[in-house]
Amino acid sequence: MGFLPISKKEMELLGWERPDFVYVTGDAYVDHPSFGVSIISRVLEDAGFRVAILSQPDYKSADAFREFGRPRLGFLVTAGNIDSMVAHYTAAKKKRTYDYYSAGGKAGKRPDRATIVYCNRIREAYGDIPLIIGGLEASLRRFAHYDYWSDSVRRSILVDSRADLLTYGMGENILLRIASLLDRGVPIKKIRDVRGTVYLCRPDEKIHYEVAAEFNYNDLKTDKRKYAEAFGVQYKNQDAINGRAIVERYDDKLLVANPPMPPLEREELDRVYALPYMRTYHPSYEKEGGVPAIEEVRFSITHNRGCFGACNFCALAFHQGRTVRSRSEQSVLAEAKKITEMPDFKGYIHDVGGPTANFRAPACEQQLKNGVCASRKCLAPTPCKNLKVDHSEYLHLISEIEKLPRVKKVFIRSGIRFDYLLLDRDERFFRKLVEDNVSGQLKVAPEHCSSAVLRCMGKPDFSVYEKFRKRYFELTKEAGKEQYLVPYLMSSHPGSTLKDALELALCLKRDHYAPEQVQDYYPTPGTASTVMFYTGLNPLDMKPVYVATEYHEKQLQRALLQYNRPQNAPLVREALIKLHREDLIGYGPECLVRPEAPKGGYAPKKPAGKQSSAPKKPTQRSSKQGSTKRPAPKKPSKGKKR
């Protein structure tokens, strides 16, 4: 057992003349099951294929792509664990200076739109060689898509990359099928019936699956309503049981997206996670300080895939899907035991989670037979009556891990769906979570308090969060602990007006919570919220949605959520004046900001005899509270793999 080769020298040491596949990735090579490249390469290796890893090649010429020579079966290409544009730019389109997926955190080791650039270099080097793209960037850009960075509707990434096939969603069985066909001598241009793939063909070519709809790119790039309608069709056909093919026309070519590949069942997942991962980065990165992304997952375990929460701003529904599958208890315990045997293990399992930690099974029995509901969410705006709520298996799993030798503590740090937790009448898991599995603070995602905004987000009403928070602190007190909640908050999401931002600011003031950081809404490919941002329409019901598109209004909304920061005072005053809420500018306990200081002078002292501030109560802004910053661009997304 060892790392897969990342250079010709390492390949020759293995006795290979050439690999079957060269896997090109925009990330540093980390052989851990939280990284898509590792999973796919190990799955192919287990099936008898030789895979070489070409990690972060020099993309300025084709030379680096000739490192291993011409592979026997073809190239696999991914931008990495996350979209390359998200990896490079903030929501304000500012260049990031740190890359958690590169050695030493050094930025600039992959190009913008990495999948396209890599494919073009491969074509330069080898011409007509089988070329297959996948990973999150390819998966979420498989159709014509709104691109925030160019502010335009771009063509499918398959068209721009000149690849032969695109794989979307979780790629193990998809790649095994494609590799098997190529190995048997089937030309890549003849592979047309594999689920979970997208290909280009002539208009007169037979399509193997029933077609849900056909769209023309020339219409989608100019007609916002048609674009929103197209996304609605794509979203409703994202289920392996009832999903159908979707077609887009690009002049004299048809782009055909086959229905999704069924999710891996428990036995298949167990086999994937039992493969011989090295569980760390390639040793060649040691001299640069290693790869930062491993730190979050080194002692963590992914126990599930899929998410029936289906928040509108999350790409999971469009990538992994809304059907939940999980590993067996024996599989998770076996991985936990491997972790305890690592030389630097200190006794703490940092997480047993996934896209949503407390999901272990499909939302209801009907999903197993009929698939997910095309026009109904399981939890929002209200829970479905068919929803099956049960934490007993997850509770037992955590308890069994805690019994392993050398395990001192098991934490749950990935997202807990608090509305689902509240629906469980059996509080045993809730109590155990509070008593044993919170590392001082629990991260949850109410996102906002405005009912209108939460509906656009696909989240439950804020009253549900308030009920959860109340019970969380009751249980914390009963346990004799001092623990906190870290609520994720988002500004400027479609549907959020300046008035909604003020509502959230007043809610925060009432609750004595001062968020250190707030996430500006980030329109990334493959989400319903991004369609709302671009079109002003909710693609799931085609109703109009207000969108804050001007940068200054976004600044005002964010400033309101952090009204207590002195540097935000001018923006907060401007926002309050716009809203005709000058009553909130002053010195009283209800005020958000003090009046502007005279030019060249100091802020006036508070009037005599009047209260100067809100009653002093413990604030949640403390070192124990931590940050509300979202870790998406920093950390490996558990389960979001190729």
Q: Mean pLDDT, to the nearest integer, of 366-392? A: 93
CA distance 609 to 303: 59
Tell me what pLDDT residue 536 has. 98
Residue 633 clears pLDDT 50, i.e. is over it: no
Tell me what pLDDT residue 118 has. 98
Percent of the chain clearing pLDDT 70 (strictly above): 93
Nearest alpha-carbon partner for 44 in 69, 67, 72, 70:
72
Tell me what pLDDT residue 606 has. 54
E strand or H helix at 24: strand 21-25
Locate 483 and state its tokens: 């623990």
pLDDT tens-digit map of 416-460: 999 999 999 999 999 999 999 998 999 999 999 999 999 999 999
Tell me what pLDDT residue 608 has. 47
* Structural domains for the chain: 8-197 (3.40.50.280), 440-642 (3.30.750.200)
Tell me what pLDDT residue 178 has. 98
Average model confidence (pLDDT) across the chain: 92
Nearest alpha-carbon partner for 638 in 196, 311, 293:
293
Query: How buried is 538 (Cβ within 10 angstroms: 0-12 exposed, 13-18 middle, 19+ buried)?
Result: buried
Helix 528-535 / helix 224-236 crossing angle, nearest 10 deg = 170
Residue 197 clears pLDDT 80, i.e. is over it: yes
Tell me what pLDDT residue 597 has. 81
Q: What is the pTM of this model?
A: 0.91
Tell me what pLDDT residue 607 has. 52
CA distance 110 to 107: 8
DSSP state of 544: B
pLDDT tens-digit map of 328-339: 999 999 999 999
Nearest alpha-carbon partner for 78 in 45, 48, 47, 122:
122
Q: Mean pLDDT, to the nearest integer, of 8-36? A: 97
pLDDT tens-digit map of 154-164: 999 999 999 99
CA distance 28 to 37: 10
Q: Mean pLDDT, to the nearest integer, of 297-324? A: 94
Residue 374 clears pLDDT 90, i.e. is over it: no
Distances (CA, A) of 441 to 180, 262, 355, 438: 47, 36, 19, 6
Give the three-state DSSP class for 294. Answer: helix
Residue 270 clears pLDDT 80, i.e. is over it: yes
Q: Mean pLDDT, to the nearest integer, of 50-55? A: 98
The answer to whether 638 and 327 have CB atoms below 8 angstroms apart is no
**pLDDT category of residue 188 using cuts at 50, 70 and 90:** very high
**Residue carrying the six token digits 């293990």:** 345
Residue 642 clears pLDDT 60, i.e. is over it: no
CA distance 116 to 107: 19
Q: Where are the beta strands (DSSP E) in 397-453?
A: 409-410, 441-447
Nearest alpha-carbon partner for 557 in 91, 97, 146, 147:
91
Q: Mean pLDDT, to the nearest integer, of 496-522? A: 94
Tell me what pLDDT residue 626 has. 34
* CA distance from start to end of the chain: 23
User: What DSSP line would sit under 38-99, residue for residue?
Assistant: HHHHHHHHHTT--EEEEES--TTSSGGGGTT-S-SSEEEEE--SS-HHHHHB-TT-PBPS--
Residue 128 CB contacts under 8 Å (≥ 6 apart), including other chains: none
CA distance 557 to 563: 10
Rg of the chain (C-alpha set) = 25
Residue 248 clears pLDDT 70, i.e. is over it: yes
pLDDT tens-digit map of 97-155: 999 999 999 999 999 999 999 999 999 999 999 999 999 999 999 999 999 999 999 99
CA distance 120 to 470: 55
Give the three-state DSSP class for 345. Answer: coil
Tell me what pLDDT residue 637 has. 43
Q: Mean pLDDT, to the nearest integer, of 222-239? A: 97
Tell me what pLDDT residue 625 has. 35
Contacts 24+ apart (CB under 8 A), 585-589: 587/611, 587/612, 587/613, 589/613, 589/614, 589/615
